Chains A and B, each alone.
Chain A
Amino acid sequence: MAKYIVVLLDEGRLKKLEGSGLEKKVEKLFGGALNAFNVELSDEDAQRILDEFATARVDSRGAITDVPVAFNRVVFEEIAKTKSLGSEVMQGVFARLAEIKEMAAKESEYLPPPDIEV
Chain B
Amino acid sequence: MSIRIERPEPHGGRLIERVVTDSAAGKKLAKSAAAVFDIKPTVDEKGVPVRNVYREIMSVCYGFFSPVEGSMKEAELERVLKERRLLNEWIFPYPILFDVSEEDHKKLGVTSGDRLLLRLKGKPFAILDIEEIYRINPEEVATRTFGTPENNPEVVKEPFDKKHPGWVIYKSMNPVIYAGKYKIINEPKLIPPFDRFWYPPKKCREEFDRRGWRTVINHQTRNVPHVGHEHLMKNAAYTGDSEPCHGILVNAVIGVKRKGDYPDEAIVEGHEAVNLYGYIKPERHLVTILLWDMRYGNPLESLLHGIVRQNMGCTHHMFGRDHAAVGEYYDMYATQILWGKGVPSFGFDKPVNEVPYGLKIRPQNMAEFWYCPKCGEIAYSGNCNHKERQKFSGSFIRGMVSEGVFPPPVIFRPEVYKVAVKWWKVYGYPFVTPKYLMEREKELEVDLPDMDV
Judging by beta carbons under 8 Å apart, are A30 and B408 in contact?
A: yes
Determine if B395 is an interface residue (Cβ-Cβ < 8 Å). Answer: yes
Min distance, Cβ B288 to any Cβ of chain A, angstroms: 24
Given the contacts A30-B390, A114-B421, A10 and B428 also touching, CB distance less than 8 Å? no
Judging by beta carbons under 8 Å apart, are B421 and A118 in contact?
A: yes
Min distance, Cβ A55 to any Cβ of chain B, angstroms: 10
Determine if B299 is an interface residue (Cβ-Cβ < 8 Å). Answer: no
Given the contacts A33-B410, A108-B433, A65 and B396 also touching, CB distance less than 8 Å? yes
Contacts of B395 in A (CB 8 A): 57, 59, 65-66
Determine if A19 is an interface residue (Cβ-Cβ < 8 Å). Answer: no
Determine if B88 is an interface residue (Cβ-Cβ < 8 Å). Answer: no
Determine if B409 is an interface residue (Cβ-Cβ < 8 Å). Answer: yes
Determine if B425 is an interface residue (Cβ-Cβ < 8 Å). Answer: yes
Judging by beta carbons under 8 Å apart, are B406 and A111 in contact?
A: no
Determine if B194 is an interface residue (Cβ-Cβ < 8 Å). Answer: no
Mark each residue of chain B from 425 to 452: 1 if its CB lies under 8 Å from any CB of chain A, else 0: 1001110010100000000000000000
Q: Which of B364-421 contact A (CB under 8 A)?
A: 371, 373, 376, 390-391, 393, 395-396, 398-400, 402-411, 418-419, 421
Judging by beta carbons under 8 Å apart, are B421 and A109 in contact?
A: no
CA distance A70 to B153 in the complex (A): 42
Judging by beta carbons under 8 Å apart, are A6 and B411 in contact?
A: no
The contact of A110 among B418, B421, B429, by CB within 8 Å, is B429
Contacts of B400 in A (CB 8 A): 8
Min distance, Cβ B390 to any Cβ of chain A, angstroms: 6
Determine if B333 is an interface residue (Cβ-Cβ < 8 Å). Answer: no
The contact of A111 among B390, B396, B405, B429, by CB within 8 Å, is B429
Judging by beta carbons under 8 Å apart, are A118 and B425 in contact?
A: yes
Contacts of A67 in B (CB 8 A): 399
Judging by beta carbons under 8 Å apart, are B410 and A111 in contact?
A: no
Min distance, Cβ B419 to any Cβ of chain A, angstroms: 8
Contacts of A110 in B (CB 8 A): 428-429
Min distance, Cβ B267 to any Cβ of chain A, angstroms: 16
Q: Which of A1-45 contact B (CB under 8 A)?
A: 6, 8, 10, 28-34
Contacts of B393 in A (CB 8 A): 59-60, 65
Judging by beta carbons under 8 Å apart, are A59 and B428 in contact?
A: no
Judging by beta carbons under 8 Å apart, are A31 and B405 in contact?
A: no
CA distance A30 to B430 in the complex (A): 23
Mark each residue of chain B from 280 to 303: 1 if its CB lies under 8 Å from any CB of chain A, else 0: 000000000000000000000000
Judging by beta carbons under 8 Å apart, are A33 and B408 in contact?
A: yes
Contacts of A107 in B (CB 8 A): 402
Determine if B357 is an interface residue (Cβ-Cβ < 8 Å). Answer: no
CA distance A63 to B395 in the complex (A): 11
Judging by beta carbons under 8 Å apart, are A114 and B410 in contact?
A: no
The contact of A113 among B390, B396, B408, B425, by CB within 8 Å, is B425
Given the contacts A8-B400, A65-B396, A110-B429, A31 and B371 also touching, CB distance less than 8 Å? yes
Determine if A97 is an interface residue (Cβ-Cβ < 8 Å). Answer: no
Min distance, Cβ B416 to any Cβ of chain A, angstroms: 11
Determine if A69 is an interface residue (Cβ-Cβ < 8 Å). Answer: yes
Given the contacts A66-B395, A110-B429, A31 and B422 also touching, CB distance less than 8 Å? no
Determine if B37 is an interface residue (Cβ-Cβ < 8 Å). Answer: no
Judging by beta carbons under 8 Å apart, are A34 and B433 in contact?
A: no
Determine if B90 is an interface residue (Cβ-Cβ < 8 Å). Answer: no
Determine if A81 is an interface residue (Cβ-Cβ < 8 Å). Answer: no
Determine if B198 is an interface residue (Cβ-Cβ < 8 Å). Answer: no
Contacts of A66 in B (CB 8 A): 395, 398-399
CA distance A34 to B411 in the complex (A): 9
Given the contacts A30-B371, A30-B390, A109 and B429 also touching, CB distance less than 8 Å? yes
Determine if A73 is an interface residue (Cβ-Cβ < 8 Å). Answer: yes
Judging by beta carbons under 8 Å apart, are B399 and A111 in contact?
A: no
Min distance, Cβ A103 to any Cβ of chain B, angstroms: 13
Judging by beta carbons under 8 Å apart, are A31 and B410 in contact?
A: yes
CA distance A118 to B410 in the complex (A): 19
Q: Which of A87-118 contact B (CB under 8 A)?
A: 107-114, 116-118
9 contacts between A and B (CB under 8 A): A8-B400, A8-B405, A30-B390, A61-B391, A69-B403, A109-B429, A112-B404, A114-B406, A116-B406
Known contacts A10-B405, A113-B404; 17 additional CB pairs below 8 A are: A8-B403, A29-B390, A30-B408, A30-B410, A31-B373, A34-B408, A59-B393, A60-B393, A65-B396, A65-B399, A69-B402, A69-B403, A72-B403, A109-B433, A111-B402, A116-B421, A118-B425
